Chains A and B, each alone.
Chain A
Amino acid sequence: MKLTLATRNAAGLAANFYAADRRVQRAVRRVVERAGVREFERARADAPVDTGFMRSQLRLAFSEHGYLYELGFDEADFTGAGKPFYPLYVIFGTTKMPARDFLFGARDALRPAFRADLAAELRAAVRRRSAT
């Protein structure tokens, strides 16, 4: 998992503090997966389309244990197709083209909901530990 231009969400690694609590680990994995898919769908929907190639190359990758994800683009997908790595130009702009940030914008817009979901799961885990 190493995309060239990507947002990265590692907040789910907090689940490692609850290594003995399989229930919280499962719950955090679900929260992380849901957040990644939502972010992917939001970025895909907001991506400007000309030929559709850039949008088709948007990648969502989860870590082996499912606690973190990356959403973005792999430069090799573009160079392999004989194209410049132009998501940089679209997202951040050029001298002739204003920026259209559909990638980091999606992350910023959805991050509060992710944090709230994650915090709720971790609070529940703390309550369970306190009760035992």
Chain B
Amino acid sequence: MSTALDAVQLALAAALKGDAQLQGALGGSTMAPKVYDSLAPATARVPYLVLATSGESGLGVDFAREGHDGVETLRVTAADRLAAKRIYVHVARVLDGVTLALDGHRMLDGATSWVTDYRDPVTGETQAVIRYRVQTLVGTAA
């Protein structure tokens, strides 16, 4: 069985890559999604999404069962703040209140929040930071 962190990462990437509207907004497609792990390739053109960092704590979210609190940090790279906000609207639609199917774990809740944005020091493009907080229980039984 995969860890909660692995399970969430896989399901998150699949959800983002598989959403046609989001990929359309990024200028990609579900066949050639513009979602990258850690660092975009040098050939990537804005806008795109990067799965930046992941973290979890072993907090029991349900006193009777073992669970996890996880945080995934996503980064939108876009021409400007407005363009990044447009992408965020799609990310929030794909993830907020949506129960992802996880391998070996059951998702309780998940929500995104816009953390901050800044200009990339090299390219001048906007980097927008989104946090996706997700709570899971170990096992798939309801």
Q: Which A residues lie at the B interface, using CB under 8 A?
A: 5, 84, 86, 88-89, 92-101, 104-105, 108-109, 111-112, 115
Beyond contacts A92-B118, A95-B77, A104-B55: 4 other A-B pairs, Cβ-Cβ < 8 A, are A94-B121, A99-B73, A104-B71, A111-B59
Which residue of chain A is the closest to B123 with respect to CB atoms?
A95
A70 vs B42: C-alpha distance when bound (angstroms): 36
Q: Which B residues lie at the A interface, using CB under 8 A?
A: 38-40, 50, 52-53, 55-59, 69, 71, 73, 75, 77, 115-116, 118, 120-123, 125, 127, 129, 131
Contacts of A99 in B (CB 8 A): 38, 52-53, 73, 75
Nearest Cβ on chain B to A13's Cβ, whole angstroms? 20
A89 vs B75: C-alpha distance when bound (angstroms): 11
Which residue of chain B is the closest to A85 with respect to CB atoms?
B118
How many residue pairs link A and B with beta carbons under 8 A? The number is 67
CB distance B52 to A93 under 8 Å? yes
CB distance B52 to A108 under 8 Å? no
CB distance B53 to A105 under 8 Å? yes
CB distance A93 to B50 under 8 Å? yes
A10 vs B48: C-alpha distance when bound (angstroms): 34
**Of A88, A96, A111, A112, which is within 8 A of B122 by CB?**
A96
Nearest Cβ on chain B to A106's Cβ, whole angstroms? 10
Nearest Cβ on chain A to B121's Cβ, whole angstroms? 6
Which residue of chain B is the closest to A4 with respect to CB atoms?
B116
CB distance B57 to A98 under 8 Å? no
CB distance B116 to A5 under 8 Å? yes
Which residue of chain A is the closest to B125 with respect to CB atoms?
A95
CB distance A112 to B55 under 8 Å? no
Interface centre among B58, B59, B123 (most CB of A within 10 A): B59
Which residue of chain A is the closest to B39 with respect to CB atoms?
A98
Nearest Cβ on chain A to B20's Cβ, whole angstroms? 26
CB distance B122 to A115 under 8 Å? no
6 contacts between A and B (CB under 8 A): A92-B127, A94-B120, A95-B77, A100-B53, A101-B52, A101-B73
CB distance B57 to A112 under 8 Å? yes
Nearest Cβ on chain A to B109's Cβ, whole angstroms? 16
CB distance B59 to A84 under 8 Å? no
A97 vs B57: C-alpha distance when bound (angstroms): 25
Contacts of A86 in B (CB 8 A): 121
